[in-house]
A and B are shown apart, each in its own frame.
Chain A
Amino acid sequence: MTTLNINGKDYELALEGHVTLLEVLRDTLGFTGTKTACDEAECGACSVIIDGRSVLSCITLAQDCVGKKITTIEGLARGEDLLHPIQEAFIKEAAVQCGFCMPGMIIATKALLDKNPAPTEKEIQKGLDGNICRCAGYPQIMKAVKHASKLMREDNA
């Protein structure tokens, strides 16, 4: 049996070596917020945070995540009715169009802002460079990240 720590909780799982983290999250545990899209580690829709860094779960073996802290999009909200400031910001700035890239974008934003609470525009572009939005909603996404940065700094002040 393998233990994976996901969103602060331990899950005991019978895993085979070749199973990716993405498959465990979606198919075994029902965390379908993390998306299967390009399947080539190019689009970022499968992004999760492992030990503070955004990674691509479609090319991560689940067994290699033992002992690490995994955060998915489901782990961000602060309660049933309380969104994370990043989620609030993305909604307020109308950054969500079709929504498919959003979990990955928000996860990448969380990883960025946890490391760099007040990024410049260039740093935001770089921090989210592993996430593609086919709706081309980048201007709104940029605004949302800046807004989220402000909200998180106010939260921490």
Chain B
Amino acid sequence: MWVDEAIWGHRLYNEQTPWLCFMEFLNVLQAELDEGRAFLEDIPNNLAYVPKSRLHLRNILFNNPQLPVIARTYSNDDKEAWSKWQEAIIKGQSGIDNADFAYLEKRFPKFEHFVSVVQFLRETTIEGENNKRWSSQFIFPYGPNCLYEDLNVKENKSPTNDRRFFGRTGEMLYLMLVRSGRGPQLLVNFQESVLNKKNKFNRLVASLEPKDSMNSSTARLGVYLPYLELPEYQELAGDWLSLLESNIPKYDVIPHLVNIMGLHMIIYSLNRAKDVLEDDTKLTFVLEIVSPKKTIVRELSSDSFTEHNNMSRRAVEAYIRNVEQTEEWEKVTDLSEATSLLALKYEWPQENGIDSANSPEDLINKFISAAINRHKQHVDKFHGTWGKEIGLASRRGARRLRYAPQDMLLKSLVLCVVPKRMEFQDFLDKLYEKYGFIIGDKQALELTEAGRADLEAFSDNARRLEQRLASMGLLRRLSDACAYVENPFGIQEEV
């Protein structure tokens, strides 16, 4: 069926974390750059790119359990170590035809240097030690040679892209940035860091692959982003450029890019749901700055979270109910015409799909039910999963999930939003204007006027944020009434 995809695109995938979304994006960008098409889109939704598989590199780094044992056993005999290791890896590797690892011996004068390098690179694994299969482990993107796509690699079979962890959210991210129009500026910045093949660490990673390695990946097609223009695209690109063009060292900026991108994707997903629900009020988030005691703000932030968490499901139902308002539906006289209409527009029902419905109305109800079941598998979980991943949502000190930002996200926000120095109340205003964050009493006016909380609760909330930022070295109090948020990497001089 084509319901989630029509609303959000193909696709938002909860099992693809923000970091892996970023890695997928880099793979797309590098592949397109190789073809001279970076950040270009001639025909909408026609993206076809060829990522790299880099199976030698990945087998060496992540499918190589014998390495430490061999290193210890043959620590005084390099020749024997190399020989035994090559035997082991050729036998244990997967995904490479006619595997040959002899090229490594010439490159590493000592076996122990090879071992050190492998150990060092494994320590840069994205998201640290995790339980994912070896072919879904990624290293830090020092440069283009570190980029490869997620694959399912089984013994004696060709590797396939089963979309287990690269679920296309990164491809959608790529299209969003293309359509923001700020691709060229972004490209210039990326070419100095993650796309720079001359970087020393990138060359180190390149040394682990044979010169003429076969790329077993084929063209990837099929991504779909419904909207050609959206303000969200500009906002995302603008925030990334703020971060990239500030004074943060090139690689240190990446975790912040990931957090801010995650936030924008969440905003995108909620706004699309609001569009379907015909709700044009500003999207807002009540944020609790974690306090030791339970406060009214905590309850409101839980409610805010829950409301947003349910929004996409409501949107799916509304989207289908909208069918009943269309002219074509009004012309439908019987069940079989209804079935044909739905099948044409939404690819549902499939041929043998459902038990028979009694009437067009009944068919719609069955459709909603089927759509919501499908929605619940992935897109429904996107808001909650990504909220936790970027440190926007947490259960800290409570049972319910709510919006309670963690330090890493707060830091990303300061680095992104504050040019060099900004008065604290202005900072709160800016967070509200850009992201809809309600933290202090000024932004909470609507809530306090509706009697849901008093001003003091929110001004306490804001005061806790001041303290948090101060403890992170990001805020300076000049006097009782005057506090400045400071971005240690900001470039804008004071006006």
Q: Do A and B bind each other?
A: no
Seen from chain B, the residues whose Cβ lies within 8 Å of a Cβ on chain A are none
